[in-house]
Structure 1
Amino acid sequence: MTEELDETDWSILAEVQRDGRIPFTELGPPGEPQRLGHHRARQALEALGVISGYRADVDLTKVGYAILAVVRLKYPGNRHEPLRRLLGERMEILECLRTTGEDCYTLKVAAGSMAHLESIVDELARFGSTTTNLVYSQPLPYRGPPDPAPVTVSPARTGPRPARSTRTRRRARRPPTPGTTPTRAAAGCGRR
């Protein structure tokens, strides 16, 4: 469910995403007497689940993970529990997204060496075909979403409205193209 956020909420989200350890006493513009209000607004955002947690950004190279890779996995069938178990066991898999399109999953993997990466990819290959891309650099690290652009409402129409026809129009239905069957989802990713 989408929550209604005001300008203060978006300001708090921007500050907390910049620095998750910002003290409550520094939340909000300097010298503003509403800092207690900002503190309560932050607590409300946490209670609503808008702020779902805090984490540290770790420099992977400084802790022994010199290689970062993006692995795409095509996963045939619809038994995903074995993959989910592997995701829980292999902490080197930093992130996993289930996606549409040709690949079913996109994974972010950290490894200490090429041999280490190869062993992880070999484990993933038990589930389907993989494509591995090495990351050279991260020009844009993760950032949270900005305040969405305000919705503009067109001014009210002035003057009389054009008369509507009392006849009901029906659109002609196109017959399905011979030899094709409409599908509900992409094949090959366990979605039927």
Structure 2
Amino acid sequence: MIDDLDRRLLNILSANARISLKELAQEAGISSPSTADRLRRLEDRGVITGFTVGINPAALGYSLQAVVRVRPMPGMLHVVEKLIQDTPEIVECDKVTGDDCFIAKLLVRDMEQLDTILDRIAERAETNTSIVKSSPVKRRLPPLGSGK
């Protein structure tokens, strides 16, 4: 489990993954060597799996986001999974229970690009597509309570 200091470090890092070790230590109220040791232990335990950068897809020309529910045709599960993995516009995908097998998030430049991608998938699966209007909750940490 994680303690209060680990929670504080994770919250600071989630707000700014580029923070220097010195600044992180200062904000957390501990020494730089202690901070480095804590981070290493969090990484070793698999709590921290990487440091990343956030981007604005619209600034890169991706004006549409779509969520696509995918239900492969019989015998096509692995083929569809490979197709999803090989489609770079699919930036995130979960394999789920229920009527659908996959829920994919796509970033595309326009409707024509979305249609092209969906046409490739539709040869092997049924799809149900929703266009994202806004994201009231961005990706965030889960509650880092005491776990009690």
CA change 1:84–1:150 in 2 (3 A) is closer
Q: Does the 8 Å contact 2:76/2:124 carry over to 1?
A: no
Q: Does the 8 Å contact 1:72/1:130 carry over to 2?
A: yes
Residue aligning to 2:145 = 148
Residue aligning to 2:80 = 83
Identity of aligned residues (%): 28
1:35 to 32, 35, 39: 32
CA change 1:36–1:128 in 2 (3 A) is same
Q: Distance in 2 between matches of 1:31 and 1:92?
A: 38
Shift of 1:68: 0.3
Structure 2 unpaired stretches of 5+: none
Q: Distance in 2 between matches of 1:78 and 1:48?
A: 38
1:73 to 62, 70, 76: 70
1:126 to 123, 127, 143: 123
Which structure: larger Rg?
A: 1
1:135 to 107, 129, 132: 132
Residue aligning to 2:44 = 47
CA change 1:79–1:48 in 2 (3 A) is farther
1:112 to 106, 109, 112: 109
Q: Of Structure 1 and Structure 2, which has the larger fraction of its residues in helix?
A: 2
Q: Distance in 2 between matches of 1:77 and 1:120?
A: 20
Shift of 1:145: 1.3
How many residue pairs were aligned? 148
Alignment of 1:162-181 (within 5 A): none
Q: Distance in 2 between matches of 1:18 and 1:55?
A: 11
User: TM-score with structure 2 length normalisation?
Assistant: 0.89
Q: Give the alignment's Cα RMSD to 1 decimal.
A: 1.9
Q: Does the 8 Å contact 1:10/1:147 carry over to 2?
A: yes
Greater relative contact order (Cα 8 A, min sep 6): structure 1 or 2?
A: 2
2:43 is paired with a residue of what secondary structure? helix
Q: Distance in 1 between matches of 2:90 and 2:117?
A: 8
